Structure 1
Amino acid sequence: MMIRKLLAATGCIFCLASAAAQESPSSDTLKLDKLLDLSFEDLVNVTVVTPTRNNQKQEQAPATVLVITKDLIKIRGYRNLAEVLNDLPGFLVKDKSDPQFYNPVGLRGISRQDYFTILLDGVRISSPTNEALPILENYPIQLAKQIEVVYGPGSALYGADAMAGVINIITQRPGKEDEITAAAMGGTQGYSNTSLILNKSLKSGLRFCIAGLYSYDAQPDFSKTYPDHFRMDSHETGVFNTTLGPMTPRNGTVERGFEAPVKAYNVYASLAKDGFTMTLLHHYTAVPTSTTLSPDDAVFNRDVFYGHGVTTASAAYTAEAGKVKSVSTLTGSFYEVNPKSNFRNLYGGMEHGYKYSTGSMLKIEEQLIYSFSQTVGLTGGATYEIFQSLPKTPELQYPVSRTGARSGVLLNSVYDGNPAGIEAKFFPLVYTNVGSYLQVQYNPVRKISFTVGGRYDYNSRFGATVNPRIGSVFQPFQKTTIKALYGTAYWAPSPMVTYESFGSFYSTDSGATYRSRHWHLPNPNLKPTTSQTVEVSINQKIGKDLSVTLTGYSTKIKNIIQPVADEGNTNLYGGRFLGWEVDYIEVPMNKSSQHNYGGNLSVNATFTVGRTRFMAYSSLSYLEGEESNLTSAANDVEQPAITPWQYRLGIDGKLKAFYFSARLLQSGRQRMYQFRSQSERKRETTDGYSLVNISAGYTYKSSVTIFMNVQNALNQRYVATLPRDLEWEGSFQNPLRAAIGVRAEF
């Protein structure tokens, strides 16, 4: 019944577009600015660079690539990259679902944002050593001319970690005229967002841009939104009735109220002249680490947080000589965890357990693009990267000092008999990666093109990898485009995944001896996770204002890393750590494989009704997956933490100076980790949800815009399934929230 209703809604787009196409646009419509004054045929034929690292029309690119333009970002009121991705088919964004990186983002069943790469003008701005980061206002979509989202494996061009896809934020380069854009907004539950962009050109031909954004979100008080689940009695009394028994913090105080704020900002600067560009970006997020636990098991105070910062600097020079184009790039990137970042929950006796981590990359790349003729093009390049990393530390008694040697003391190891505690074990790394790639595009006739390429990488930690790609684009008819794609990718085990450690010791004799119930410890023998993807898509244009796309894909993933017991698997530690006995030691291990398959049916249209110009879209997505243990392929079970059915429906409109947008995400039942029974391979599910977001704005004299934004307009109370097996029933999501703001452009 639900599927029939959703397909009926999709059919309405056909009817509206067909009916509107019969009307001739009025003179008022023709005077509209370019925000929505394009046919869908024009909208899907924009120029993209990410799929091939060379300019190409979107419909000719050998990949499934979606483009979100600057105008769409404005009309839909997107405040951050997560909101953009949440409206795209195949994505699944789960807010408040991880204590470290906050909102796990899945793409076609590959869950977590460190499985895709985020770029700014082709330069990586996600963590250089691939720690998963929150996707919030830290990524500067306010600078975007367009955001290109490429689905599927990207390792043939971009190397490690581009397994699920690549997201490239293309900035608006400064023109000859100076521009200033300033915006500020505020909303319910303590949300605020301010930004400033300054573009200026000098007589010498030098162009520069300076920009920044700061966002603070006090967040809804869940003790009021979900009073049956978030009772704050423990914070009132100071005694926490945890699932491991009553605990009273020995050190530090506990504030009584529910506090779990989120903070994010980014600062950007760029210089450009002729073929030379130089950019600098620093972005930061701080998110609560109490996320996914109950108030009886964690402290919900504002000083309990995890802070990530990334600074990226790059310089590039582009030169052309005849048919050859050369792009030389030097990039440096540094990632650091705020030393005051900490967990405070039942696993550390409700004490502050401080964390720290760093990672850096220096990369040199040379790329050549050679056009033999109109039918044959060649793109190739070579890279050299050197990395340094201090993987995420275990919980520490005190914050790590930034000024001295990196060292620390294990949480809860300080006793009267051992006031110095137990020194923490750190695992600093230095490693390199050498890569080269080559891609050939061949267009024997106008309606057919082929792309063949591959990349070779040698990493000093885990050896060599080779990743080919093959793609063909065929237009049997003028308005029909068929794409057939095959590619492989690999996900490098990051220093955090490989060397992360957490756990604690306890003593019953005031520090003379120690023992532990549990430790998660490093496994330096991990191999890369690899994938193979086959994809076919058919796009059919109907007139100039209506388009239908059907996409199907199948992805097989091997060597997935999961925690396992050390005993009987890796046997690295023999039940002891730092000389003391541990009841249970777990380590990461290449344990399982996974097969994801599914598809998407999308309908897009632009049309005019009276004086109002509309753009509408609808998509129905299906995803299924099985996972199996590498040692027993017969034990295939349903993939957990996915939502098999999703439906999206949206409409954007503009009437003179007024614009509006309404978007629906209908999520089917969500799959959990728990099995229905010991004998079944089927997993438990939890309810789906309907999420409606609305935005609108009014522009005065083409320079000042007043706008509003409503999230979860139906005020749904719902949970998102967690990306790992926990006893907590799910991640509780935000209720209705509203914001209003003003933007001025000069």
Structure 2
Amino acid sequence: MKLTHPSAVSKAVLTALVVSAISGSVWAADYDEANLQDLGKVVLVTASRLSEEKVDVPADTTVITAKDIEKGNFNSVSNALKANNVTVVQKGFASYPELNGDTRVLVMVNGRKMNWDHLVVSGSENSIDIDQFPIENIERIEVVKGPNSALYGERAMAGVINIITKEGTMGQKTTAKAEVGSWGYWKTGITTQGGDEKNGYFVSYSKERQDDYHYKDANGNSHRFPDSEINHDNITARFDHYYAEDKLSLDFSYSRRNDGFGINLTDPLQGIIYGKGMKSKTTDMSYGVTYNFGMDEGTFVRAYRNTEKANTPFAGVPYEHDLTMFGLEGQKMWKLGNHTLIGGVTYNRETIDEVNDGTPFGKDANSKAVYLEDKWDLGRGWIANLGTRYEHHNNFGGDFASHVGLNKKINDKTHAYVSWGQAVNNPTMKMLYSNTKWWKGDPDLKQEKSYTVTLGVDSEVTDKLSVSASVFTSRIKDALVWIPGYDPDNDYIKTPDDYVAGYYTNSGLEKRRGLNLSATYQVNPAWRVKAGYRYLYVNSNDTTGSLSAFYNRQPNTYSLDVTYEKNRWLVNNNFTYVTGRAETRYTDSSYLLWNINVNYKINDSTKIYAQGLNLTNQSYEVEAPGTYKGYNMYPIGTFAMPGRHYVVGVEHTF
């Protein structure tokens, strides 16, 4: 499928601007004066474990606030990330983030590790389904690109995404929300919160359903993607109690998913899927308790427990697993002259019990760590961040990971930075010890180790214009790659006993380099334009001849946001244009997406909204088929993304 004809693209862009212009001609009064985000007011804690303003952080960061989520009407974490130029790969029932062209991303909720030492997303050992976390209770999402092993341990090779949940507010407030859309989609949700001077609570519940989505193939024909239906239920609860300057926080989340397990199409031109009729029945629960000494949250003790149970037969093969993670953490902050020190200790234990086609697998692993971070005020706007972490894993022994960052705060609205950091990523227990007819583990696998250098600048040039730029380069040694299994007779479903199992091995050196540019301009009180460009190159000297790391999903990404916000209206048009993709691995070398979001506030308590997604109805995919000895294992287009679809909704607060 070739990119939409230029005349069609022009009409699409013109239509978007006309919609916004009509809105502007109808309403002419007040507007939201906070359209441009003040760098000095954006506060995050993930980058250095300190609560600090973005302008003081020597890192490439993105903060998605509850206000951003509310205005964007995002129904999932993945949609919120994609709207903020964070790549998200969708594969069957799961969506997982990619930072700096790498899926080795640590995902946390309120600072607690959520990644499993296990296969969560088929075909991507590093990944976790980001949409298992409900969006209704999110205060902000902090995205920090670059290695963070010095602060958070292994798994944080490409960066960290930390989801911060909402606290209850004074008084009592309840919000109800309902949405309907294409392909039988509907979602309902309710949140209630309240509190007084000593206590606060926040509770949310949501239910989401959708039939199989439709996609457009390379010939321009529409098909149903079998087994792509959605069936989610989520419950969250948080309670905070204040003791003078201290705070006790308790939080709980429950996610039940009974989604279709449609991972890939074996024939995209006919809408035929591998393993028809499969379901992903998964239940996740998480409990956490944190006691903060002082309101700055730099000193605390924390305990948490995560569990996941799944019963997910694959292609007729029975499979189930039971995962448990327990974690303890203590952290202390000191201020010594020009130095702000953060020190802490962590303990983590994870247990796996699974049965795959009658073969049991039971393993556990534990790690202990100590870390120290120094934020050193050098004067004249210069700040150095120095940190190191020693982590001992029962399978790999002890390792150090360190980082250095230098930040120059030119003024309250401009900073420049450079950083260097190391990272470690351990092979999972499945990689090491799996022993089925489909997958053989290798206990001699080495850890992946990397370093990354980042250089960047953020500036509010004027009251109307803000700009951001960053470049990075990274290298990963002993990168892990999957050697796929095969059947000599190509009839493994009938006679699986002769199947040669797949396995992981350490390959060569992965290299990445990239560039990020963005600019936001407030044209007038009602109109705002944001433009961006992202370049990414991934290469590998993979010597195995199997799954190369040369994915390059989005080598060149151009983005344009046109927003009108005035009185009761908010209209946002988002355009994403991706070029430079290899046609030997993707449906086309380029694609253009157009999404539109329209809000209308009936009054201070009620709003209605509508969204159009992939209005250009592009045939595209974010994930490419893997290769084996130079050949695609699946046909191009096997991970087809949804075609044109719509959502309308209403939200009321009382």
Matches of 2:333 and 2:73 in 1, distance apart?
37
- For 1:128 and 1:144, the matched residues in 2 are separated by 25
CA contact (8 A) 1:79 1:137 kept: no
Post-superposition offset of 1:546? 0.8
- Matches of 1:318 and 1:565 in 2, distance apart? 47
Aligned equivalents of 1:582 and 1:324: distance in 2?
57
**CA shift at 1:649, angstroms?**
0.9
CA distance in 1, matches of 2:402, 2:625: 30
Alignment partners' CA distance in 1, 2:258 and 2:218: 23
Structure 2 partner of 1:653: 564
Q: 1:531 aligns with which of 450, 454, 460?
A: 450
Q: Give distance in 2, aligned partners of 1:109 and 1:131.
A: 19
Q: Which residue of 1 aligns with 2:352?
A: 389
Q: Which residue in 2 is equivalent to 1:367?
A: 331
Question: Letter of the aligned partner of 1:343 in structure 2?
Answer: F
> 2: CA distance between counterparts of 1:636 and 1:140?
33
| Corresponding position of 2:147 | 153
Larger Rg computed on CA atoms: 1
Tell me if structure 2 keeps the 8 A contact 1:641–1:721: no
Post-superposition Cα deviations, 1:252-297, rounded to whole Å, max 9, x if no partner, equal xxxxx95531223321011111111111112243443333123686
Count of residue pairs brought into register by the alignment: 606
- Cα separation, partners in 2 of 1:668 and 1:588, compared to 1, 3 Å: same
Q: CA deviation at 1:94?
A: 3.4
Output aligned runs, 1:235-254, within 5 Å.
none
Determine the C-alpha separation between the residues in 1 that align with 2:484 and 2:650.
Answer: 55
Given residue 302 of structure 2, which amino acid in structure 1 is its aligned partner? T
**Matched residue, 1:692:** 594
Q: Does 1:358 align with 2:322?
A: yes
After superposition, residues 584-733 of structure 1 pair within 5 angstroms as 584-609=500-525, 613-629=526-542, 639-671=550-582, 686-722=588-624, 724-725=626-627, 726-730=633-637, 731-733=639-641
Q: Gaps spanning 5+ residues in structure 1: where?
A: 10-26, 233-256, 345-351, 397-407, 409-423, 504-518, 568-579, 675-682
Q: Is 1:279 aligned with 2:245? A: no
CA distance in 1, matches of 2:178, 2:66: 18
Q: Where do 1:181-192 residues align within 5 Å?
A: 181-192=175-186
Amino acid at match of 1:745: T
Flag the 1:229–1:287 CA change in 2: closer, same or farther, 3 A.
Answer: farther
Contact 1:129 1:361 (C-alpha < 8 Å) held by counterparts: no
C-alpha separation in 2, matches of 1:196 and 1:126:
27
Residues 261/566 of structure 1: CA separation in 2 closer, same or farther (3 Å cut): closer
**Letter of the structure 1 residue corresponding to residue 377 of structure 2:** N
Number of the residue aligned with 2:137: 143
SS of corresponding position for 1:51 = coil
1:93 alignment counterpart? 88
The whole-number CA distance in structure 2 between the counterparts of 1:181 and 1:48 is 26
Distance 1:694 1:185, change over 3 A: same
Counterpart residue identity of residue 252, structure 2 = L
Shift of the alpha carbon at 1:230? 8.5
Change (3 A) 1:209 1:161: same
Q: Give the CA RMSD over aligned residues.
A: 3.3
* Paired residue secondary structure (1:735): coil
Separation of aligned partners in 1, 2:499 and 2:77:
43
Summarize the Cα distance change of 1:502–1:744 in structure 2 as closer, same or farther, 3 Å threshold: farther
Contact 2:597 / 2:609 at 8 angstroms: preserved in 1? Answer: yes
C-alpha contact (below 8 Å) 2:342/2:373 kept by paired residues: yes
Query: Alpha carbons of 1:228 and 1:87: their partners in 2 closer, same or farther (altered >3 Å)?
Result: closer
Using a 3 Å threshold, how does the CA distance of structure 1 residues 144 and 298 change in structure 2: closer, same or farther?
closer
Do 1:87 and 1:665's aligned partners in 2 also have CA atoms closer than 8 Å? no
- 1:743–1:44 distance in 2 versus 1, CA, 3 Å: farther
Is 1:452 the counterpart of 2:386? The answer is: yes
1:346-379 deviation line (CA, Å, top 9, x unaligned): xxxxxx2222122211111110011224x32001
CA contact (8 A) 1:75 1:697 kept: yes
> 2:405: which partner in 1?
471
**What residue number does 2:304 align with?**
331
- Please name the residue that 1:343 is paired with: 314
1:528-587 CA-partner distances (Å, limit 9, x unpaired):
2122100000223321221122211001011221234899xxxxxxxxxxxx97463432
* Worse overlay, 263-272 or 583-592: 583-592
What's the counterpart of residue 17 of structure 2? none
Partners of 1:310 and 1:264 in 2: CA distance: 11
Equivalent residue runs for 1:365-514 within 5 Å: 365-373=329-337, 375-390=338-353, 393-394=355-356, 396=357, 408=358, 424=359, 426-476=360-410, 480-500=414-434, 503=437
Give the Å deviation of 1:209: 1.7
Match of 2:290 among 316, 332, 341: 316
TM-score by length of 1: 0.75
Alpha-carbon distance in structure 2 between the residues aligned to 1:94 and 1:473:
32
Deviation readout 1:605-649 (Å, 9 max, x if unpaired): 33425xxx23332110111122013699xx998823522111111
1:266 matched to 2:234: yes
Identity value in percent: 20
